[in-house]
Amino acid sequence: SSELTQDPAVSVVLGQTVRITCQGDTLIQFYATWYQQKPGQAPVIVLYGKNNRPSGIPDRFSGSTSGDTASLTITGAQAADEAVYYCNSRDSRGDPQVVFGGGTKLTVL
Amino acid sequence: QVQLQESGPGLVKPSGTLSLTCVVSGGSMSKNRWWSWVRQPPGKGLEWIGEVSPTGATSYNSSLKSRVNISADRTQNQFSLSLTSVTAADTAVYYCARGTVTSSYFYYMDVWGKGTTVTVS
């Protein structure tokens, strides 16, 4: 089955830059999408495609892909960015499947 | 803008059937969207359950396929989830979400419901 692998936890000092990664073979075909989830809330999309931010998402969020690994970079992390970040992609090689990474808990110090 | 709202029983007995509905408001269930169910057990990550495509075709998580059915009623602007033979492991927050697939190999879920908690006990 398809899988996306993320580090369980990452920390960053306030105002510094942090990168969160997501690895999986589905990323060779489909770009990763990134979601931010805060406690008790539904996920919110923060990045999709090559490097597309939905309306209202700050430009400190950016993304990139290299081979089977996608990265979400937060440049100048803010306290409000503390959350769990999930990557997500699609596997269309057989019966379509949607996959999520296990999530990365970001702590802003 | 489009909003999604889940509804259904918050408590289901073991071996019973979990049934939820997602109502789409602020827009139609347009034919170029995929409509998904996603769940999140307490303290755990997101798990995709399945989707209904613009053509009405369904796809399910292979680990749940034998127990899941998703259907859409576009005349009522809603879609539904049925999960049979539930156990405590099916206790989770259940979300409905709108997905988009593009020819440029983007897939994203841009609209989510607030989620509804279902406890199996």
By Cβ distance, the residue of B48, B59, B101 closest to A100 is B48
CB contact under 8 A, A100 and B62: no
For residue B88, the 8-state DSSP code is G
Interface contact A104, partner B, CB < 8 A: no
By Cβ distance, the residue of A88, A97, A100 closest to B59 is A97
- pLDDT at position B30, please? 75
CB contact under 8 A, A96 and B105: no
Q: Which helix (H) or strand (E) holds A73?
A: strand A69-74
By Cβ distance, the residue of B38, B61, B115 closest to A97 is B61
Distance CA A60, CA A18 (A): 10
pLDDT digits (tens, 9 = 90+) for A63-85: 999 999 999 999 999 999 999 99
pLDDT digits (tens, 9 = 90+) for B44-88: 999 999 999 988 999 999 999 999 999 999 999 999 999 999 999
Residues B24, B111 contacting (CB under 8 angstroms): no
